[in-house]
Amino acid sequence: MAWRRRKTTTRITSTTNVVTTPTITASTITTTVPTTPGPTTGRRGDLMGISAGATASTRVLDACVDLGVRWVRVSHELGWNSLTGLQKTVTDAHARGLKVLQCVQKAGHAYTLNDCEPLTTFALGCAGLGIDALELGNEWNNTPFMSPNSLPPTLQATLSAYIAPRVRAQYPNLPIITNGMSPAPGDYTPHIWWPQFFDATPLAHKGAGYTAQALHPFVYPEDPCGLIGHPEWNPWWALQMIRDSMKARAFTQPIWFTEVGCPGDPTGQTTIRGIVCDEARQAFVTSQYLKQWQTLSQPGEPIFIATAYDGDSVSVPGPENYLGLIRADGTKKPAWQIVHDTAGAAL
């Protein structure tokens, strides 16, 4: 099953879907919010991870240890047969000194208000396995990515504000992160989408017990330090706008960068918007991602690189088959060394 598929989309100028919001009683639920997990070795790698895909094999977990990062992000989905795979990931990761961020999704990526209770039960099941953090959704802002399904901000807000406090009530110290917003056109772009998401149910959000908001600041194949003046296509430049929106609503929280990456095709045959996505380009873009993270992030805000190995991200042919820092044959790409050196540096 595909973990994610990016699509080239045209500009969309309006989100007109209206969903009737059910009653949310978050205010009656204790919402003690934990702080972001602190560093344990004083290295940048304590705040870095690999976004592994739907699952993480022991090969991927060993690669995380070798790379020097402390986290691994997976997304076991509601609708799969059981949580056995996630349980094995958690057990194997903890045995290696790694922490697990589980991203909650529903198989098929078609959501309705009727999913509030099933997703909550699923999230509680994930939390019960000993995961170290919970992310509520993957790129829910990117409706073109969800096509032909629709997930307007009102529905996303209702789902998030329903699930979070019910998990928080049982797991008071578990970091709970809202969905990672990705680049998207028009009203879907993160700095425009986030205010719509929050304003849909502001009181419920404030009582939901979130630890942080999440962002997927993908820019590839362009330079993450470029596209200045275009936050719609470079979320790094939207970051301060999102922080300002939170501050204006008295809802200042950290932002976790739960997925970034760039394809590095070993054959050099992948071209996107006229830019060759070979391994040299991957190394450059990765270094620029890390530069932006170190420059624009606030203390304690982690970043997750997609992915460890080529082929981990999607099950269909395409550029994202080459997101890995390691080639399919197990040899390391130049971008691997850049991430490794950053992870080993002092905070």
Predicted confidence (pLDDT) at residue 37 exceeds the cutoff of 60: no
Rounded Cα–Cα distance for residues 138 and 146 (Å): 10
Higher pLDDT, 24 or 259: 259
Asked if omega into 221 is within 30° of 0 (cis), the reply is yes
State the average pLDDT for the chain. 88
3-state helix, strand, coil in the chain (%, to 5): 40, 15, 45
- Region 138-164: what's the mean pLDDT? 89
Rounded Cα–Cα distance for residues 323 and 277 (Å): 10
DSSP β-bridge partners for residue 306: 51
Residue with token string 């017990």: 209
Higher pLDDT, 45 or 10: 45
Q: What is the pLDDT of residue 307?
A: 96
pLDDT tens-digit series, residues 248-269: 999 999 999 999 999 999 999 9
322, with CB counted inside 10 A (0-12, 13-18, 19+), is: buried
pLDDT tens-digit series, residues 260-303: 999 999 999 999 999 999 999 999 999 999 999 999 999 999 99
Structure tokens at 109: 């990526």
The separation between the first and the last C-alpha atoms of the chain, rounded to the nearest angstrom, is: 37
**Phi/psi at 119 (nearest 5 deg)?**
-65, -35
Q: What is the pLDDT of residue 84?
A: 92
Domains of the chain and CATH, by start: 42-344 (3.20.20.80)
Rounded Cα–Cα distance for residues 344 and 325 (Å): 16
Query: Which ranges constitute the DSSP H helices of 96-174?
Result: 116-128, 143-146, 153-170
* Residues 338/287, Cβ–Cβ less than 8 Å: yes
Predicted confidence (pLDDT) at residue 39 exceeds the cutoff of 60: no
Q: Which of 286, 291, 288, 292 is nearest to 307 (CA)?
A: 286
Rounded Cα–Cα distance for residues 33 and 174 (Å): 8
Residue 19 is given by DSSP the state -
Listed range (15-24, 170-179, 286-295) with the worst mean pLDDT: 15-24
- Region 325-331: what's the mean pLDDT? 96
Paired sense of beta strands 48-53 and 99-106, if any: unpaired
pLDDT confidence bin for 203, thresholds 50/70/90: very high
pLDDT confidence bin for 7, thresholds 50/70/90: very low
Q: In this prediction, what percent of the chain has a pLDDT beyond 70?
A: 88
Q: How does 293-312 read in b/e, with b if 16+ C-beta sit within 10 Å?
A: beebbeebbbbbbbbbbbeb
Angle (deg, nearest 10), helices 84-95 and 58-67: 30
Rounded Cα–Cα distance for residues 197 and 195 (Å): 5
Predicted confidence (pLDDT) at residue 17 exceeds the cutoff of 60: no
Listed range (32-36, 41-45, 53-57, 329-333) with the worst mean pLDDT: 32-36
- Region 308-337: what's the mean pLDDT? 90
Predicted confidence (pLDDT) at residue 15 exceeds the cutoff of 80: no
pLDDT confidence bin for 10, thresholds 50/70/90: very low
Predicted confidence (pLDDT) at residue 38 exceeds the cutoff of 60: no
Q: What is the pLDDT of residue 54?
A: 86
Q: What is the pLDDT of residue 144?
A: 72
pLDDT tens-digit series, residues 85-133: 999 999 999 999 999 999 999 998 899 999 999 999 999 999 999 999 9
pLDDT confidence bin for 315, thresholds 50/70/90: low
pLDDT tens-digit series, residues 45-87: 999 999 998 889 999 999 999 999 999 999 999 998 789 999 9
Strands (E), the chain: 48-53, 71-74, 77-78, 99-106, 133-138, 176-181, 212-215, 255-260, 271-272, 275-276, 303-306
Structure tokens at 71: 């986290």
Q: What is the pLDDT of residue 142?
A: 87
